Amino acid sequence: MWPAPPAAVKRRRRTTTDAVDNCTDVCLHGGVTPPPLADPRPLVQTGPDGRHRVLGRRCPTCGEVAAFAWPRCPACRGEVEPAAFGPEGTVWSATVVRIPVPGRTPPYALAYVDLDDGPRVLAHLAHDAAPPIGARVRLAAPSDDGDVRVEVLA
Q: What is the pLDDT of residues 4-19, one digit of tens each?
A: 545 544 444 544 444 4
Average pLDDT over residues 117-140: 94
81-93 residue pLDDT tens: 999 999 999 999 9
At residue 13, the pLDDT reads 52
Q: How confident is residue 150, by pLDDT bands cut at 50, 70 and 90?
A: very high
Q: Span 43-152: which CATH code?
A: 2.40.50.840
Average pLDDT over residues 127-150: 93
pLDDT at 132 over 50: yes
At residue 3, the pLDDT reads 53
CA-based diameter of the chain, in Å?
A: 67
The Cα–Cα gap between 70 and 15 comes to 33
The full set of domain ranges for the chain reads 43-152
pLDDT at 144 over 90: no
